[in-house]
Amino acid sequence: MLKVMAANDEKEGVHMYEEMERRPIICIDMRSFYASCAAVDLGLDPMTACIAVIGNQERRGSVVLAASPVLKRDFGVRTGTRLFEIPDDPRIQKIEPKMGFFLKVSMEITKLLAQYVPSEAIHVYSVDESFVDLTGTEKLWGTPETLIARIQDDIIRQFSLPSAIGMGPNMLLAKLALDLDAKKTGFAHWTFEDVEAKLWPVTPLSKMWGIGSRLENTLNGMGIFSVGDLARAELTNLEDVFGIVGNQLYHHAWGIDLSELGAPLVEGQVSYGKGQILYRDYTTVEEISAVLLEMAEDVAMRARTAGKAGRTVTLAVGYSKHAFGGGFNRALTIEEATNDTLKLYRACQKLLNEFYIGRPVRRLSITLGKLEDETSMQLSLFEQRKWQTRRLGGAMDQLRQKYGSTAVLRAVSYTEAGTARERAKLIGGHKADGNPFTPEG
């Protein structure tokens, strides 16, 4: 938990910054990375080409994974647009992703960054986004702004890819400067002194990094609609409702972030989840249950790998728009923390049986929350079955990590309803080019 005093007003809030460390942290984002890479691969200009990167063009319901800036502007095609919704226009090029190529470009960009700073000063946040600490680079490369311009020029020269960079005194403000400002201008530098003028007016709250729609709805119910409202809220009230997350929400609204480079911006993993949009409408409990078992396996494996177990299972079901949308989101607290696949699955089944009303389903999500260390699980020597189940789960995890996610599958994955085998052909949700287990020569 952040050890920073709550501010009762803006004037007192300024004093919160006096002892805050101010480092030149940048957050660099490759604009429309997949679409830009695809354009360059075709010998086109990423800023003028109309590129839609689509996971599987054989399925009319496949979604757009990335859209070039011009495609977004001129045709309204964005990430999530369905293949059949894309206008029939000869200027639009539909490209299947070459994830091997994208990942290679991403790694080469990271190597470029390492020419200017030590590797420990680089935190790869995602395939198209990284944090970099520029502390100590002034003697070699000049001011941070000078180095930033050089980095962006190098990326254009070597890769023909556009980038945007946000800079701040910590990871949070660098990320916010990127998301809320630099993605429109190419570069933005935010300081603590900019928080009131630039961050506080932000509304809706979901525009701020780290606040999703569910959290936004809860905050709205508390009368909090802007980041400024959040900054002026009573810290104790936020902590009562959200626990440690409430503490960090409050301080993030003031631009304060004490995490080290590479550490998560929200202290500690608060849950493990898995969600997916189904390839088609699922209309029976049996079909839905098959996918839930696959998803429970994935969530449980991630918890086991991290040495965590959870007490709260949340199931979210989204109905097809052909059935007028809607859905439900319900949670169940179980008696004992678990990371066992079947226990997680049974909890999901219980929620499904209680709240599902028979409509066609298109979206599913499972979350395991209220985490605690796995060592807290009551695995006494007299409960051999629990130990055997845990060891079996661990052995399956190791096989998947070594030989790939399809090395060990449950029988439901071989039914028509299963999605695990099809999704295993994707990398990060995108179609892989070639065998992902064959190293490049």
Which tens digit of pLDDT belongs to each residue from 75-114? 999 988 999 999 999 999 999 888 888 888 999 999 999 9
**What's the sign of the alpha-carbon dihedral 224, 228, 233, 239?**
positive
286 catalytically annotated: no
Q: Which pLDDT score is estimated for 67? A: 94
Q: Which pLDDT score is estimated for 210? A: 80
Q: Does 374 score more than 50 pLDDT?
A: yes
Q: Which pLDDT score is estimated for 379? A: 43
Average pLDDT over every residue of 282-302: 89
Kindly list the strands in the beta sheet with 271-282, ordered across the sheet, starting from the edge strand earlier in the chain: 271-282, 361-373, 308-319, 327-338
Split at pLDDT 50, 70, 90, the class of 281 is confident
Q: What are phi and psi of 10, to 5 degrees?
A: -60, -40
Architecture of domain 271-431: 2-Layer Sandwich (3.30)
CA distance 83 to 236: 47
Average pLDDT over every residue of 203-219: 89
Pairing of strands 129-133, 122-126: antiparallel
Q: Which pLDDT score is estimated for 275? A: 82
Which tens digit of pLDDT belongs to each residue from 22-73? 999 999 999 999 999 999 999 999 999 999 999 788 888 888 989 999 999 9
Q: Which pLDDT score is estimated for 87? A: 95
Q: Does 418 score more than 80 pLDDT?
A: no
Hey, where are the domains in the chain?
21-190, 197-253, 271-431
Q: Which pLDDT score is estimated for 351? A: 93
Which tens digit of pLDDT belongs to each residue from 225-258? 999 999 999 999 998 988 888 888 999 999 998 7
Which tens digit of pLDDT belongs to each residue from 293-350? 888 988 988 888 888 888 889 998 988 877 777 888 888 888 888 888 889 999 999 9
Percent of the chain with pLDDT strictly greater than 90: 46
The CATH code of the domain at 21-190 is 3.30.70.270
Cis peptide before 439 (omega within 30 of 0): no
Q: Does 125 score more than 50 pLDDT?
A: yes
Query: Which one of the listed residues 108, 129, 239, 422 is annotated catalytic?
Result: 129
Q: Does 412 score more than 60 pLDDT?
A: no
Split at pLDDT 50, 70, 90, the class of 1 is very low
Does the global pTM surpass 0.75? no
- To which CATH superfamily is domain 197-253 assigned? 5' to 3' exonuclease, C-terminal subdomain (1.10.150.20)
Q: Does 157 score more than 90 pLDDT?
A: yes
Helix then strand then coil, in percent of the chain rounded to 5, is 45, 20, 35
Average the pLDDT over each of 2-11, 159-168, 303-312 and give the range with the smallest value.
2-11
Please, what is the average pLDDT of the chain? 81
Split at pLDDT 50, 70, 90, the class of 429 is very low
190 touches 205 (CB < 8 A): no
